[in-house]
Every structure is written in structure tokens, then in C-alpha cells.
Amino acid sequence: MKGLELLLLPLLLLLKDASAQWNVWMPRDISAMTNSCVVIPCSFTYPSGIRPYRGVHGIWYFGHPYPQLFPPVVLKSRTDIVHESYKGRTKLLGDLTQKNCTLLISNIGVEHSGKYYFRADLGGANIYTFPDFTKLQVLDQPNIDVPEEIVSDQSLDLTCYVPDNCPDMSPEIHWMYTDYLPDPVFTPDQVEEGNTAVLSSTLTFTPKPMHNGQLLGCRVNFPNTTYVYERLITLDIRYAPRTVWVNVSQEVMEGSSVVLHCDVDSNPAPMITWYFGDKELMSETASNSSLSLENLTPEQEGVYTCVGDNGYGNMNTSMYLAVNYPPREPWINESLTVLEGSSVSLQCTSKGNPMPTLTWLKDGELVGTITAEEGSVLELHEIMPQADGVYRCLAENEHGRASSSLNITVEFAPVLLDDSKCTIVREGVQCVCIASGNPEPAIEFYLPDLNVTINNSNNRFNYYTHSDGYTSTGVIKLQDKGERGNNGDTAVHVHCSITNIYGSETIRLELQQEKKYMMAVIVGTIGGVAVIAFIIAAVRYVGQNNKKENGNPGQDVGSKVENPSMFYSAVKKDKQSLRKKVLKTELLGSKFNSILEEGTGDDSDYQSVGPMAGMERQELNYAALEFLHGRHREGVFRRADGDGSDYTEIKAK
Ligand SMILES: *[C@@H]1O[C@H](CO)[C@@H](O)[C@H](O)[C@H]1NC(C)=O
Ligand SMILES: *[C@@H]1O[C@H](CO)[C@@H](O)[C@H](O)[C@H]1NC(C)=O
Ligand SMILES: *[C@@H]1O[C@H](CO)[C@@H](O)[C@H](O)[C@H]1NC(C)=O
Ligand SMILES: *[C@@H]1O[C@H](CO)[C@@H](O)[C@H](O)[C@H]1NC(C)=O
Ligand SMILES: *[C@@H]1O[C@H](CO)[C@@H](O)[C@H](O)[C@H]1NC(C)=O
Ligand SMILES: *[C@@H]1O[C@H](CO)[C@@H](O)[C@H](O)[C@H]1NC(C)=O
Ligand SMILES: *[C@@H]1O[C@H](CO)[C@@H](O)[C@H](O)[C@H]1NC(C)=O
Ligand SMILES: *[C@@H]1O[C@H](CO)[C@@H](O)[C@H](O)[C@H]1NC(C)=O
Ligand SMILES: *[C@@H]1O[C@H](CO)[C@@H](O)[C@H](O)[C@H]1NC(C)=O
């Protein structure tokens, strides 16, 4: 039989009149819901030469077309003996004599899925199994046709299908979980194709990113039955990054470590790229990404950008990472030496974050404060000698401070100080010439009456000079005999020349008459015993020098105390009695300037003050602790008035 069929098959193709040959029409595929039924439409032909013997019969096989392999018999029209699993379920709807082999299978189960073959039995040897078959698919769920790619904001059609091939039971379709959808539209449809029917319902809406991951369902039921079938799908909606979250901008200290986080809302997951400014740092495909920054340096301050890109679009968010650090040591000019009257501008720059406040201090006192990105410039115009000092630029921010300093040395032409004069002493006239200048001035006396120049190199007339800082003191003593000139006491002519590289001045020194001396002690805020002790020490030092240089105990000033005027003269007549005119010191970081100063006006004699009383008469006659630049002392010191005290006092700042 089999061989015959194989021979016949190509023959069928050759013969145009197909209806006159063995032939069958049935749907290639058909489907049904479990528990429902299915009608497989079928018709067949056989060669016109065949005369059916004892009627037309047919057999439906399941799975396999050949009886030798004993496929389960679905239906056997001649005997009605069928396989166990089809008992009571199958019925031949078609009339075989009309070549109609339509089959009904009811109460269907998934186990009935498979191929169904029809075998026509016309009696005798005219039995033929058609090679064509219907493939039955038994479903326990409806089908939903979902596009491969659902993109947000583009109209979407979702179609739910259910087979409708059971005449007794007609399905109904309902969409589930559509409440949250924007304006859903449902379009039912019935599609017939190749003798099979499909019922469908199309849901149309425009999905949004928020619908990603949401459930949608299609529910099928057969009215008047309890059979319900559902299919659920999860929406996978593609959308470009919607939000890119990164840490807020923040400030951290240098040397610390931070982890920046970036979270991108997109579907599918994006490629996350980190940028520092324009520079790409790293890239990864993930919904979130961490950027670890360790041991931060100020150079790492800047804008960090996280870019999310998933092919549907990109988005980025930036944050600013500020790296704070204490001020670096400021850069300032080198120390410099300038000429009085010139102008300089000093520059100070320091780095720090936040931007440091720059403060200029001169000798510890505030000069100016500037906060500026470009640094601070201190302009000194027409510099005066007192501009001399240590200039410090202090950079401060909330994380620390740093400073640098420079020294300014002011050079200036010599200036004669007020104390320059000649005074009558017992054995003659003593002339003192005091000048300040930088470099320190050279002092030289000229006696026009004698046509004599007296300076360091010709140590005549008890010439004595001393220099301390920028002050030079020159002293000569003219003895009575001739040295004072011809005109006697009132006609001494002494000129003093003061000279340095910037200038020279010659002044005639005035002869001053009797003077009262007064001691004033200028005491700073620290005041008290320490200062007094210092002065005592200074006085002793000067006194000892006097004795040593003097080498003449007979001139001991102690013997002259009963006559202050004489006492004064006695002291003055020795060149060794010349004291250091200026002593400058710093005590506990603050400057103290004290002066033993001449008084004016009344005739009272030398007065001693406080604990120094006894000693002063013996050892101290003329000493000054003076501000560096003597000519400015008026501005610096304030005299105490009113109580007859000979102190003057100043509060040191
Ligand atoms: C075969 O029989 C079925 C059931 O009676 C019928 O619905 C169908 O129309 C018939 N087919 C043809 C081709 O006559
Ligand atoms: C369901 O049953 C009711 C009464 O039992 C009947 O009126 C109705 O037509 C039936 N519906 C269907 C679709 O068979
Ligand atoms: C950035 O944000 C993430 C997540 O909120 C957090 O774990 C991390 O500590 C943050 N980083 C910084 C430096 O604040
Ligand atoms: C970051 O992404 C990973 C997977 O890439 C995920 O497991 C984790 O939960 C995400 N973390 C956050 C905070 O979103
Ligand atoms: C970030 O986004 C803006 C527009 O939103 C774009 O101009 C810029 O180029 C993006 N930056 C990066 C690094 O992608
Ligand atoms: C200090 O430095 C600045 C910058 O180099 C310079 O312009 C200025 O002239 C300097 N000042 C002096 C007095 O040298
Ligand atoms: C400034 O002068 C002092 C002495 O008066 C010295 O100790 C210091 O080193 C000098 N500073 C500079 C920057 O030259
Ligand atoms: C002073 O002395 C110098 C020489 O030492 C001499 O040339 C000059 O003429 C004299 N002047 C007077 C006014 O005598
Ligand atoms: C001192 O005076 C003499 C004249 O008496 C002069 O020749 C000499 O140059 C002077 N020396 C100085 C250092 O001025």
C-alpha cells in the first residue's frame, strides 16, 4: 500500500483534475481552549474510478498516519472503537458519503494536542491515509501579540487572540488592569483563515515610561461555563533616560575620599559615563554607577557630570565638588631696601580654598585686609623712614593660616635731631650733634674760628661718636683755653656736618644756657617692675661703661650730688659720660621705648624718679631710651600733664 501511495503522489501533481484523485482538505493548524471543543473541517476526494464497496468509512488517527504503528484511534466510523483518551469526546460531523470528514472533539485537554490524520476506507483494497494533517494546539491561555519593542510615547497595539472553533461555546475577551492606561481603545475582531476562526481584541494606547513594568492581562471566558483563561504580560517600555541623579554639590577637605553616585532612570539600562570637566573618567553599563575619588587634591575640584545614554536618548546631570584646603604659604616680594620718598608696591598671593583673606601686618600691626583672587597689593607711597620694618602677609581661611614676611629697609638722607646743641659745662663747652639717617650718617664738627675740622680720623677735642641703628651721635668738648674761640662763652661757633650717601647738611649749633633735666619714662602696657628693672639695668650698664672709659675716679659724680648744676657739668665734661643715646629693645614681644628727656621752663634741678632715685644721681645723668627715629617721637609719645610728675607715658599697642 505504502509503495502505491508513493507512486501515486507525483501522479497527483501531474493530473490536473485533482478532485479525481486521493486528496484531502483540512486546516494545517487549528487551536482550541482546554475544556472547550474544536471542529476540524475536513473534506476529501478519491479517484473517480473507485466504487465504494459497502459504503464509505473513515478513521481519524492521532499522531501517526499508519495503522501498522498503532496510532491512537480518534474515531472509527465503521466500529466506533476509539482510543481510551477519546472515548465520548469525538463525533464525525461530516457526511462521509458526501466526502465530508469534519470531526468534532469536545471536552478537549492539552494531551490532545498533536497531528490528526484521516484515513478513507472505501472497502476492499481502497483504503488510503492522506499525508496531510491538521495540527491541533490546545491552549490553556489566550495569546497576546506583543510587539518586540515598545517605545514610550508611541501608539501601541496589543492584540489578544483566542481560538473560536467550538460551535457550542463562544469565547468572550476582556482586557484586565487597564484602569491606569491613558485613553485605552478596544477593538474586537473575528478572523477566519483556512476554515479556522480566531476571536481577537486589540487594545490601543500610548504608553509612558511610568507604565514600564506594569501588568496587563487578557481574560477569556465562555459564557454559561465556569471556564476562565487569563494571560498576563509585563510591559517592557523603552524610554530614554528620564532622570539622572547625582549627589548634590559639596565641599570636602583635601586628602579625603568621596564616592559619588549616579542613578539613571531609563529602559533599557544605560551606559553611564562620568566626566570631570571634559575629561572622561569611566564608563559602565548599569542603572547606577559609583565614582570613587580618593585622597583628593585641589586639582580635583570641579564639575563632575554623569551622562546616561541607552540608545533612545541621553541625559546628564552635573555636580560641583569643592576641595577645601588651608592657605598655602603666601608668595611675597623679596626683602628690599628703598630710598625715602620712593614708592613700592608689595604683592602677596596665596592659594587656599575657600579663597584666603590676605592681611598685611607691619611690625605686628594691621595695615590692610584684602580678599582677592589675584592677591593683595600693598602700595607704599613716598616712603618715610618709619616705613622701615617687617611686613608680613597673613593668609587665612577657615581651615588654617600661613604667612610670609619681608623686610623693608628705608634709606634716607641725614636729619639733624633736636637734641643737637652746645651747652656750657664747667670746663668748657660741650657740643652734641645727633643725626639720623640710613646709612648711618658720618658726623663732623667744624670750628670756623679756628678753621678746624674734627672727625673720627683726627680725634681731637675729645671727639666721640656713637652709632646705634640709624642714629649717630657726635660729641666734642671744647676746653676753655682757646678752644672756645676768642669771643668767650657766648661766641662759640661750632658747625656740625652730617653726611651719608643721600645727602649732607651743615648746621650751626646753638649754645644753650642752663637747663633743667627731667626724666621721663615711657612705659608700655606691660609696665611696672619689668620696665623699671630694664631701665635700671640699662643705666648700670651705661654707668659701668663710663667708669671704665673714664679711668678717673676723681671725677666720681657721686661727690657732686649736692650741686645738681655742678653735677651735671661734671658729668658732661668727660667724653666717657656720653651715654648711649638710643637704646631700643623689645620686651616680651612688645616694644618699649623710654626716654629720659629734657624738660623746659622752670629752674628746678635734676629730679629723680621712683626707685631709681639714689642710683641716678650717681650713675645716670643723661640717657635716653628712644624710639628708633627720634624725630618722630613727638607723634609717638604723649606727655603726662598736671601733677608735676616728670613721667611721660604711652600705651604701647
Ligand atoms: C461538512 O459538514 C459540516 C457539518 O455538518 C458542515 O458544516 C460543512 O459545511 C460541510 N462541509 C462541506 C464542504 O459541505
Ligand atoms: C446562557 O444561558 C442562558 C440561560 O441558561 C441563556 O439564556 C443564554 O442564551 C446562554 N448564553 C449562551 C451564550 O449560551
Ligand atoms: C552620594 O550619594 C550616595 C547615595 O545616596 C551616598 O551613598 C554617598 O555617600 C554620596 N556621596 C557623597 C560624597 O556624599
Ligand atoms: C545599582 O545597580 C545594581 C545593578 O546594576 C542594582 O543591583 C542595585 O540595586 C542598584 N543600586 C541602586 C541604589 O539603585
Ligand atoms: C549635557 O546635556 C546638555 C543638554 O541638556 C548638553 O548640551 C551637554 O552637551 C551634555 N553634556 C554631556 C557631557 O553630555
Ligand atoms: C613685587 O612683586 C611684584 C610681582 O612680581 C612686582 O610687580 C613688584 O614690582 C614687586 N615689588 C617690588 C617693590 O619689587
Ligand atoms: C628681617 O629682619 C630680621 C631682623 O631684623 C631677620 O631676622 C629676618 O630674617 C628678616 N626677614 C627677611 C624675610 O629677610
Ligand atoms: C683754613 O685752612 C685752610 C687750610 O687748612 C686754608 O686753605 C683756608 O684758607 C683757611 N681758611 C680760613 C678762613 O682761614
Ligand atoms: C676728617 O677731616 C679731615 C680734615 O681734617 C679730612 O681730610 C678727612 O677726609 C676727614 N675724614 C672723614 C672720614 O671725613
What is the DSSP secondary-structure string of 551-619?
--GGG-GGGGTT-HHHHHHHHHHSGGGPPPS---EEETTEEE--B--B--SS-------GGGHHHHHHH
Q: Which atom of ligand 1 is nearest to the CA of 43?
A: 13
What is the per-residue pLDDT for 371? 56
What is the per-residue pLDDT for 372? 60
What is the per-residue pLDDT for 428? 81
Lowest-pLDDT range, 11-15, 217-221, 318-322, 409-413?
A: 11-15
211: left (phi over 0), alpha (psi -120 to 50) or beta: alpha
CATH no. for 413-512: 2.60.40.10
pLDDT higher than threshold 70 for residue 292: yes
For 347, counting Cβ atoms within 10 Å of its Cβ (0-12 exposed, 13-18 middle, 19+ buried), the class is: middle
Taking the centre of ligand 8 as the mean of its atom positions, its distance from the CA of residue 447, in whole angstroms, is 11
- Testing ligand 4's pocket by substitution, the residue of 260, 264, 272, 288 carrying the most ligand atoms inside 8 A of its CB is 288
pLDDT higher than threshold 70 for residue 562: no
Query: What pLDDT digit, counting tens, does each position of 114-135 carry?
Result: 999 999 999 888 999 999 999 9
Three-state secondary structure call for residue 210:
helix
What is the per-residue pLDDT for 211? 95
Cα 13 from Cα 4, distance rounded (Å): 15
Three-state secondary structure call for residue 352:
coil
Q: Which atom of ligand 7 is nearest to the CA of 407?
A: 1
Beta bridge partners of 280: 275
pLDDT higher than threshold 70 for residue 574: no
What is the per-residue pLDDT for 478? 82
Name the CATH topology of 2-138: Immunoglobulin-like (2.60.40)
pLDDT higher than threshold 90 for residue 176: yes
Q: Which atom of ligand 9 is nearest to the CA of 452?
A: 5
Three-state secondary structure call for residue 406:
strand
Write the CA distances from 140 to 163, 230, 395, integer angstroms. Answer: 11, 8, 81
Cα 510 from Cα 422, distance rounded (Å): 6
For ligand 2, atom 6: residue with the closest CA:
224
What is the per-residue pLDDT for 540? 52
- 533 Cβ below 6 A of ligand 6: no
| DSSP conformation class of 246 | E
More confident position, 206 or 641? 206
pLDDT higher than threshold 60 for residue 1: no
Which of these, 512, 448, 506, 515, lies nearest to 474 by C-alpha position?
506
| DSSP conformation class of 374 | T
What is the per-residue pLDDT for 7? 44
What is the per-residue pLDDT for 561? 29
- 207 Cβ below 6 A of ligand 1: no
Write the CA distances from 333 to 340, 361, 368, 405, integer angstroms. Answer: 19, 14, 17, 9
Average of per-residue pLDDT values in the chain: 77
Cis amide leading into 188 (omega within 30): no
What is the per-residue pLDDT for 370? 67
Say which CATH superfamily domain 331-412 falls into: Immunoglobulins (2.60.40.10)
- 273 Cβ below 6 A of ligand 5: no
CB atoms within 10 A of CB 473: 24
What is the per-residue pLDDT for 18? 56
More confident position, 531 or 342? 342
CATH no. for 141-235: 2.60.40.10
Q: What pTM was estimated for this model as a whole? A: 0.62
Q: Which atom of ligand 4 is nearest to the CA of 261?
A: 13
What is the per-residue pLDDT for 17? 54
- The mean pLDDT of 523-551, rounded to a whole number, is 43
- 164 with 190: CB under 8 angstroms? yes
Residue type, 145: D
pLDDT higher than threshold 80 for residue 156: yes
Cα 525 from Cα 531, distance rounded (Å): 10
Cα 399 from Cα 629, distance rounded (Å): 40
CATH label, 239-324, candidates 1.10.3720.10, 3.40.50.2000, 2.60.40.10, 3.40.50.150: 2.60.40.10
- CA atoms within 13 A of residue 379's CA, in its CB half-sphere: 1
pLDDT higher than threshold 90 for residue 414: yes
- Strands 127-139, 237-246: pairing is unpaired
Q: Per-domain residue ranges for the chain?
A: 2-138, 141-235, 239-324, 331-412, 413-512, 528-647
Q: Residues in the chain, how many?
A: 653
Ligand 3 site, CB within 6 A: 247, 258-261
- 596 with 610: CB under 8 angstroms? no
Sign of CA dihedral 52, 55, 56, 58: negative
Cα 32 from Cα 109, distance rounded (Å): 9
Q: Fold identical between 2-138 and 413-512?
A: yes
- 10 Cβ below 6 A of ligand 2: no
pLDDT higher than threshold 70 for residue 607: no
Query: What pLDDT digit, counting tens, does each position of 442-479 carry?
Result: 999 988 888 888 887 666 678 888 888 889 999 988 87
What is the per-residue pLDDT for 513? 63
| Smallest-distance ligand from the CA of 448 | 8
What is the per-residue pLDDT for 73? 92
- Strands 73-76, 57-62: pairing is antiparallel
Q: Which atom of ligand 3 is nearest to the CA of 263?
A: 4
CB atoms within 10 A of CB 518: 20
pLDDT higher than threshold 90 for residue 650: no
More confident position, 460 or 435? 435
Taking the centre of ligand 3 as the mean of its atom positions, its distance from the CA of residue 255, in whole angstroms, is 17
Residues 6+ apart with CB under 8 A from 131: 5, 9, 65, 117
Query: What pLDDT digit, counting tens, does each position of 20-77 carry?
Result: 799 999 999 999 999 999 999 999 999 988 989 889 999 999 999 998 999 999 999 9
| Smallest-distance ligand from the CA of 42 | 1
